[in-house]
Amino acid sequence: MLDLYVVTHPEATHHLADQVGGWYDSELTPAGLQDADLVAAALRERVAGSPPALFTSDLRRARQTAGAIGARLGVEPVPLAGLREKSYGEGEGRPDAWFRERFVPPPAHGERMDHDEGLVGAETKRQWVDRVYAGMDVVMGSTTPTRIVVTHGGSAGVVIAHWLRLPRTALAHAAFRVGPGSITHLHEDDYFHNRTLMSLGDTTHLRRT
């Protein structure tokens, strides 16, 4: 039996500043730090038995989230650059308005994986998916039955696709929408060895009383 919990980092400074994220190394806001503790507490309730393996994007906002989880569960996060968000090249850290003036969205039909988005230094979707899939190969190489991945809103969808063993080309159109501070639960049973999406983007743990 395998369980994978995919966590998206909570509110970061680039969210409040209306800046492009990507590889821009923003940090969690005070509210984001509180939410990271709530995520950690929720995982402590869900993860039973031996300590899980904990992997995280190496960007600061994800590492801060993983740090809170690791402290609660007594494990050390393993940083992986492969779990970073998609790179937007020259757009990273820029105002959102600047970005939207220059960004070229992919066509509804035709080539989407190698589409040029009009931003110098940005990853294509294919490069992004290949990188995250390689990072997930490391995660899935672990022998620990419960694993936690801390990543970003966009890359979380690629992580889910890898778990479900979707071909990379499926991500030309397929997407999984999750919000900040969410937990997605993925499970593989011991009998059929089916990989199941148990819950997507759960944020009920963020409700403060």
- Tens digit of each residue's pLDDT (9 = 90 or more) over 159-185: 999 999 999 999 999 999 999 999 999
117 within domain boundaries: no
**Domain range for residue 166?**
2-18+28-87+123-206
Q: Looking at 49-53, 126-130, 136-140, which range is the least confident one?
A: 49-53
182 conformational bin, left if phi > 0, alpha if psi -120 to 50, beta if neither: beta
Cβ burial of 104 (10 Å; 0-12, 13-18, 19+) is: exposed
Give the number of other CB atoms < 10 A from CB of residue 202.
18
Is 77 within the bounds of a domain?
yes
Residue 166 placed within a domain: yes
pLDDT at 155: 98
Q: Is residue 58 part of a domain?
A: yes
Task: Please tell me what DSSP assigns to residue 95.
Answer: B
Residue 23 lies in a domain: no
What is the count of structural domains for the chain?
1
Q: Is residue 196 part of a domain?
A: yes
For residue 188, being part of any structural domain is answered with yes
How far apart are the C-alpha atoms of 172 and 5, rounded to whole Å? 24
Task: Give the separation between CA 63 and CA 130, rounded to whole angstroms.
Answer: 22
CATH of the domain at 180: 3.40.50.1240
pTM above 0.75, yes or no: yes
pLDDT (mean) for 66-82:
97
Residue 46 placed within a domain: yes
